[in-house]
Amino acid sequence: MGLKTIKAAGGLVLNEKQEILMIFRRGKWDLPKGKLDEGEKIEECAVREVMEETGLTKLNLGSLITITHHTYFDTWLKEEVIKETHWFLMEASSAERMIPQISEDIEIIEWVSIHNLNQHLSNSYDTIVAVVKNYQNRY
């Protein structure tokens, strides 16, 4: 029997300076994302999760960048699962106030310039590096 697949969505958010929004959670740099709610469209999930995790309220949803898969142990389901995450390009203003979602262990939210990106990605997850590289190769 195969592993259960959990669908999720998130965003690679750019501001007007072409900086990428990154969050620092559980000791790693990450992009905002989360699980799909029942009856929710994947695009709605991506926008909702970015808003919840960052406090941003004005997001422009762009196109799908890529879909990633990784396995992890789901403590609620008490089993190993596959997370299928749909990543969308989004735009937001750097002037908007951001509020880290403490309940999701988010400590820092930062706009990262292209010059500091590798420093952040060196302490990130393979799937996040893949999303950023996929974006950079396409745009």
Per-residue pLDDT reduced to its tens digit, 41-89: 999 999 999 999 999 999 999 999 999 999 989 888 899 999 999 999 9
Is this structure's pTM higher than 0.85?
Answer: yes
Per-residue pLDDT reduced to its tens digit, 108-130: 999 999 999 999 999 999 999 99
Closest by Cα among 26, 2, 5 to 77: 5
Domains of the chain: 4-138 (3.90.79.10)
- What are residue 18's phi and psi, to 5 degrees? 65, 25
Rounded to whole angstroms, how far apart are CA atoms 89 and 132? 10
